[in-house]
Amino acid sequence: MNKRKALGYTQQTLADKLNVSFQAVSKWENGTNYPEMEMLPMIASVLDTSIDSLLGYKPFMVSDYDKRYDTADYYWGITPNNLCYEIMKLRPPIKPLKVLDIGCGEGKDAVFLARNGYIVTAFDLSEAGIEKGKKLAEKWNTHVDFFKADITDFRATKYYDIIFSSGVFHMIKPEIRKEITANLKECTNKNGIHAINVFVEKPFVSEPPDKDANWFRWNSGELFMLYYDWKLHKTEEIIFDCNSGGIPHQHCMDIMIAERVK
């Protein structure tokens, strides 16, 4: 269903493309019936996905980040991101505020915010990252509700006051960005804020030498546009030097803080 919606198809559109009734599509989606096996290649093709993915199969995979995090040290250090301080200025924790940290890595920012009195939930695709986050929280005698999830599949069902994400949104393919941000915006309380940064494409900034297969840089300004209906407190674009992978290169990043006003 997520795939169909991401492509902007109604059940009827999909049914027409597959030459079946929309009731058939509806039954597949609510699990009361399943398509014939021989239809799977056609469904996968129409939905621009794989049969594995249709069947919910995900290969067991130790992500590149699992390997990076499999050390005693903290790969990204434990100094919180500057955005955390900006969040604290805009929304000080003088009342219980709920935070969601998306792609929390080893938890440095989630733990920092929890230590400062926020009620923090955080997820990442890397199990190793989450385990280190839990250890860090324990060290500071604080609590973060950590769990493993993939930003591509995750859809918020609870409401948050602050949604934070650093260095992760480039994992979201262009065709599902609108749907994912719409869900996160919807699940934000009035006057809640989103503090997000994302790698963006610039013709004069080449792709990093150690980029992985799931690296989809955003267009410059694309993130800000998705928040056209929110109050923008910060919209900044920076270019910075990086030495990851041992080869000096540059990144361009858009940084945004936006507030849900209505």
Q: Interface with ligand SAM by CB under 6 A: which residues?
A: 63, 65, 76, 81, 103-105, 108, 124-126, 129, 150-152, 166-168, 171
**What whole-number distance in Å separates Cα of residue 177 and Cα of residue 168?**
12
**What whole-number distance in Å separates Cα of residue 128 and Cα of residue 108?**
14
By beta-carbon proximity to ligand SAM, the closer residue of 152 and 235 is 152
CB of 67 to ligand SAM, least distance (A): 11
Cβ-closest position to ligand SAM: 105
Q: Is residue 147 within 8 Å of 168, Cβ to Cβ?
A: no
Composition of the chain by helix, strand, coil, percent to 5: 35, 25, 40
By beta-carbon proximity to ligand SAM, the closer residue of 9 and 154 is 154
CB of 34 to ligand SAM, least distance (A): 27
By beta-carbon proximity to ligand SAM, the closer residue of 40 and 149 is 149
By beta-carbon proximity to ligand SAM, the closer residue of 138 and 150 is 150
Beta strands in the chain (DSSP E): 98-102, 119-124, 144-148, 160-165, 188-201, 218-219, 231-242, 249-259
**What whole-number distance in Å separates Cα of residue 146 and Cα of residue 107?**
9
CB of 33 to ligand SAM, least distance (A): 30
Q: Is residue 99 within 8 Å of 161, Cβ to Cβ?
A: yes
CB of 150 to ligand SAM, least distance (A): 4
CB of 126 to ligand SAM, least distance (A): 4
**What whole-number distance in Å separates Cα of residue 233 and Cα of residue 255?**
10
By beta-carbon proximity to ligand SAM, the closer residue of 171 and 253 is 171
